């Protein structure tokens, strides 16, 4: 609760217009957001995607590596990469624990701004992961675009100095998740959209602060 309060103090001034931010900062339990739940439920019969793919996954293709954060100072570039990483996994290549550890390395090291639980909510549970691994389930992600939500831009224009405390930006990303598993080379695909909180201080590369519980257009 203390971490959420500190996050709220630094970020709320800028992100006050974002739908769902209050719940993100003040909720008593870290329950998965609607977007997170949607992504996880898809994994029952499929899996999430890898950042660099532009087409449907192929079961015979090489296995996918764990996601590595880009070295960038551009919050939109980072947000697009983070969204693709969050929509991606490959049960043939690594464990659920290894994926969680890799995704946590995307988080800001400033713990008062980091919300690892919002990231964990997107990754399938150990039990679900085991079921997917039995079917060699995996997926790839294609990111279509990323932008600052209108509400964030308007709030920033109204108080341009507010960003300089935490340097946390809201980034909304849209794309498509292509899924495949053993015995189903055609797989399937679903549209995805997510709003992320991305920290980009001037003197260091961008990092993920957390996943918003609802999408800000």
DSSP calls for 111-129: TTT--HHHHHTTSPPHHHH
- pLDDT tens-place string over residues 161-212: 999 999 999 999 999 999 999 988 667 899 999 999 999 999 999 999 999 9
Residue pair 119/102 in contact (Cβ under 8 Å)? The answer is no
Dihedral sign for Cα atoms in the order 166, 17, 122, 74: negative
Against a cut of 0.85, is the pTM above it? no
pLDDT exceeding 70 applies to what percent of the chain? 70
Quote the mean pLDDT of the chain: 80
Residue 150 clears pLDDT 70, i.e. is over it = yes
Rounded distance between C-alpha atoms, residue 144 and residue 132, angstroms:
26
Angle between the 96-104 and 126-134 helix axes, to the nearest 10 degrees? 120
**Sheet of 168-181, strands arranged across:** 138-147, 168-181, 184-199, 207-211
Rounded distance between C-alpha atoms, residue 208 and residue 67, angstroms:
13
Residue 214 clears pLDDT 70, i.e. is over it = yes
- pLDDT tens-place string over residues 22-49: 334 334 444 434 334 334 334 333 333 3
b/e per residue 58-71 (b: at least 16 CB within 10 A): ebeeeebebbebbe
Rounded distance between C-alpha atoms, residue 57 and residue 136, angstroms:
12
Q: What is the DSSP string of 172-190?
A: EEEEEEEEEETTEEEEEEE
DSSP 95: -
SS3 140: strand
SS3 90: strand
Residue 67 clears pLDDT 90, i.e. is over it = yes
Read off the pLDDT band of 86 (50, 70, 90).
very high
Give the per-residue pLDDT at 49: 37
Question: Hey, what are 27's tokens?
Answer: 């909720």
For Cα atoms 165, 18, 144, give the angle at the middle one, nearest 5 degrees.
100
- pLDDT tens-place string over residues 104-131: 999 999 999 999 999 999 999 999 999 9
For Cα atoms 147, 148, 150, give the angle at the middle one, nearest 5 degrees.
115
List the chain domain ranges. Answer: 2-211
Read off the pLDDT band of 17 (50, 70, 90).
very low
- pLDDT tens-place string over residues 96-110: 999 999 999 999 999
């Amino acid at each position: 609760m203390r971490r959420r309060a500190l996050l709220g103090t630094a970020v709320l001034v800028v992100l006050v217009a974002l739908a769902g931010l209050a719940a993100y900062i003040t909720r008593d339990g870290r329950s998965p957001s609607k977007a997170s739940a949607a992504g996880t439920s898809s994994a029952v019969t499929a899996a999430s995607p890898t950042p660099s793919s532009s087409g449907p996954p192929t079961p015979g293709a090489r296995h996918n590596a764990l996601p590595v954060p880009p070295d960038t100072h551009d919050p939109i570039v980072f947000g697009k990469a983070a969204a693709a990483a969050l929509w991606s996994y490959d049960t043939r290549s690594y464990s659920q624990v290894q994926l969680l550890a890799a995704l946590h390395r995307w988080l800001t090291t400033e713990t008062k701004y980091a919300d690892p639980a919002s990231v964990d909510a997107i990754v399938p549970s150990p039990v679900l992961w085991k079921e997917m691994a039995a079917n060699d389930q995996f997926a790839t992600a294609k990111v279509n675009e990323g932008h600052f939500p209108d509400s964030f831009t308007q709030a920033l224009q109204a108080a341009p100095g507010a960003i300089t405390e935490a340097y946390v930006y809201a980034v909304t990303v849209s794309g498509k998740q292509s899924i495949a598993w053993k015995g189903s080379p055609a797989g399937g695909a679903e549209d995805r959209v997510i709003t992320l909180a991305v920290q980009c201080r001037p003197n260091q590369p961008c990092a993920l602060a957390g996943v918003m519980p609802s999408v800000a257009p």
